[in-house]
Chain A
């Protein structure tokens, strides 16, 4: 199960490899290998959420059966940057029910590049780090058609999965398509307790088509259409009737001949997300409300990579323009009364333009030094008059727009010799407040049960970060420990204002986004892999996180000690894996942010696979049991302590010809 950790590629590791063995200058665009990443997974058709949370850097906040919110280095959406092939996409849901990770299917993912802290600053200003989800792309080695069918079934939640991959490659042209449909009913927690409103239904279509000319130029167009309907959110008071995203891009890639420039990639993109919450199926609703949201983003980036002597440099000029609107209409029980209407996101326009520069200096065959710096302009404007005047109730002197300059610098040193590697780095970065933090209007958080009001006058959040890594690898054994420490000043959180009356029926109060003097977050993870015999391999992971604010109060969503260990067996075409994973008791919980103590848990999973060929077709069959002992548990990141899945049998089949 931990195999993928290597693929997830903690960037530091990859970077050091790259720099130690400088790349040969390529004159021809190399189309990335079709990694078929998912085929390496013990569970072929796991959701991307299940896949990502195997990384020691990533955890998932879970509000339902689907569309979990990734947190990187214990930091959630506001403090991270999540992109699909470098494109910025912003969710349209004020409750973060539509994370960007829900728009890529596992069958279409070639790799998820997880970067910690400022190393992830390439696609935008971040504090915690970044994830770039890279989609599959055909290679020019296998010309012709390639077709695969994916299908699966899971007993718990009766999830039915069907998908296809159809690719066509010619000597200068390719078209890749991927389709996946999932339909799940309510799942059951341990002891067969049905978790109501945990159903979901979604499909995802992705297509990429490229044309290569003059051997070193490529034009590529891509499209993702993702539509989820009837998505239950058992942890929230509402479900989602529609989450729809259209993501399009046009890319031009150029590899100049005989030049210091290796590769020059320029992309323009557009995406639009629609999100509709739905409370009509809930039995007890104090007041019926509609809460739709829309987010449109236009953007571009132009990225140059090159080599000059021992410098591997990269420059990325990127920009986006986003428009976020969310509204709320409440229907009074008395039908003669006018509806109650407000903007929860008052048509907030964000214009961002930034330049990111990176230089990787190879000092000698064993060590390298990497510098990066970025400078960006971040402009916000409230374009809706009603929305502006709503916020001016709280901030009478508020201007309709605000401009910010965001800066970041980082430096890292890597050393790798005779299997022994180490690295350390220092960085500084800033981020602007998110749309909700800056301009949200009565956003109900069902976790701490407060209504949140944005604050347009927030200062930039600033992070000083240090990281170290230490690793040792031989043919049989590999072990690596990485740690990062963040000191974040003007840390943005909601602070209760006892003078304010909550709008949401049943809410405990109102919190205004404000800045704490500082907060500190520390993360460390240890990964070990050991090839016991030719057939047996053992893996282990141990993760520890720590987060406190300046008053030594615990931060929310800080993982307790968590671990996983697995034993893999592989002989010829058969593979099997047994895995245990668990958390220690969450002692460092934060009642202030709505958390309670989460007990420890441990679950046991079993998976096995068999691959074979019949004539020209290739079959890949996986069966497994998750949570074999049917443990009833929930983790620190389960919103409102909703329980996780109980025992689940799965069958995944991949068939290609």
Chain B
């Protein structure tokens, strides 16, 4: 008799253990939702808390991939069916303007997470700062949340704005590589133009020529780089960037329009060691 009783107790104990495990399931999924992300800040309104995330937990001048989720203050649950748009705005002393940004979409494979990118072409300073407005609709009801966000200057040049020979103001942002390696790196750049102070659409069918150089080491370059062309799927410009050693690299750029005319930037020669438009990476 003793043995079966023991067994029954054991089975019950195991069942308890399992059930307690299944209770913990939700937080573990939640943790998984945020894998590789760190919180930047929260933007709150009366009903919700909007949490902003990025891999580093900060924003910086240039291209930023931003994830967000919306927590219902009443239920403490994260919203799963929100339709979201955003509107970054630079509040300058005399005027304000927006910047290039993507739509906000649900992150694939996640339940509560949404994401998109914003390209901050300038950094904040003591007088001027960025604000972010999140507009979202849940079950047909529209909400909005707004707050100041911190966008410090990037250590290296990741975004460049200029007026092309066609008189249009363009904006190029380095997206990848975020973690450059001594290798052939996949390179991604966003090409935008300033249609108005508030509208910065992606430019189609251009070409970005690259010439990475090391100014500290005789301005030597690297072989087998592939100039960037636009991909149909994400509308961004993709190419290959060869970095033959660690250190500081200046990626000299030339922007060409659909007709192949150079709108900005110079080819590198002994007499022209650097282009007027460039990105920087250091690793």
Contacts and interface: CB of A to CB of B under 8 A. Distances in A.
Contacts of A338: 246-248, 282-283
A392 B184 contact: yes
A457 B6 CA distance: 69
Chain A residues touching B, majority SS: loop
Contacts of A501: 220-223
Given A394-B224, A500-B223, A501-B221, A342 B246 contact: yes
Interface in A327-341: 328, 330, 332-334, 337-341
Nearest to A337: B248
A506 B218 CA distance: 8
B245 interface: yes
Interface in B259-283: 282-283
B183 A390 contact: yes
Contacts of B39: none
A396 interface: yes
A506 to B, nearest CB: 7
Contacts of A333: 216
Contacts of B222: 393, 501
A386 interface: yes
A398 to B, nearest CB: 11
Interface string A371-407: 0000000000000001001101110100000000000
B217 A396 contact: no
Interface in B185-229: 214, 216-218, 220-224
B216 A287 contact: yes
B258 interface: no
Given A330-B247, A332-B248, A342-B246, A389 B183 contact: yes
A258 to B, nearest CB: 63
Contacts of B216: 287, 330, 332-334, 337, 340
B244 interface: yes
Contact of B217 (A332, A393, A394, A441): A332
A499 interface: yes
Contact of A386 (B181, B217, B247): B181
Interface string A480-507: 0000000000000000000111111110
Nearest to A340: B247
A337 B243 CA distance: 16
A504 B244 CA distance: 12
A286 interface: yes
A103 interface: no
A168 to B, nearest CB: 53
Nearest to A386: B182
Interface string A315-357: 0000000000000101011100111111000000000000000
Contacts of A200: none
A377 B31 CA distance: 52
B246 A340 contact: yes
A145 to B, nearest CB: 56
B223 A394 contact: yes
B252 interface: no
Contacts of A503: 217-218, 220, 244-245
B242 A505 contact: no
Interface string B161-195: 00000000000000000000111100000000000
A342 B182 contact: yes
A340 B218 contact: no
Contacts of B244: 342, 390, 393, 441-442, 503
B220 A341 contact: no
Contacts of A499: 223
Interface string A185-221: 0000000000000000000000000000000000000
B282 A340 contact: no
Interface string B222-256: 11100000000000000000111111100000000
Contact of A287 (B181, B217, B283): B217
A332 B245 CA distance: 13
A108 B113 CA distance: 75
B223 A392 contact: no
A392 B243 CA distance: 11
Nearest to A387: B182
Interface string A25-45: 000000000000000000000
Contacts of A287: 216-217
Q: Among B181, B221, B222, B245, find the residue whose CB has the most chain A CB atoms closer than 10 A.
A: B245
A340 B243 CA distance: 11
Nearest to A390: B182
Nearest to A499: B223
Interface string A503-518: 1111000000000000
A504 B220 CA distance: 8
Contact of A339 (B181, B183, B247): B247
A392 B182 contact: no
B177 to A, nearest CB: 12
Interface string B98-142: 000000000000000000000000000000000000000000000
Given A502-B220, A505-B218, A393 B183 contact: yes
A494 B283 CA distance: 31
A44 B181 CA distance: 55
A53 B131 CA distance: 79
B245 to A, nearest CB: 4
Contacts of A342: 182, 244-246
Contact of B214 (A286, A328, A340, A389): A340
A506 B220 CA distance: 10
B248 A393 contact: no
Given A337-B216, A503-B217, A392 B183 contact: yes
B248 to A, nearest CB: 5
A338 to B, nearest CB: 5
Nearest to A289: B217
A332 B217 CA distance: 7
Nearest to A506: B218
A341 B217 contact: no
A337 B216 CA distance: 9
A330 B221 CA distance: 15
16 contacts: A330-B247, A332-B216, A338-B283, A339-B246, A389-B182, A389-B183, A390-B244, A392-B183, A392-B184, A393-B183, A393-B184, A394-B223, A396-B184, A396-B224, A502-B220, A505-B220
Interface of B: 181-184, 214, 216-218, 220-224, 242-248, 282-283
Given A330-B216, A503-B245, 5 more contacts: A389-B183, A393-B244, A504-B218, A505-B217, A505-B218
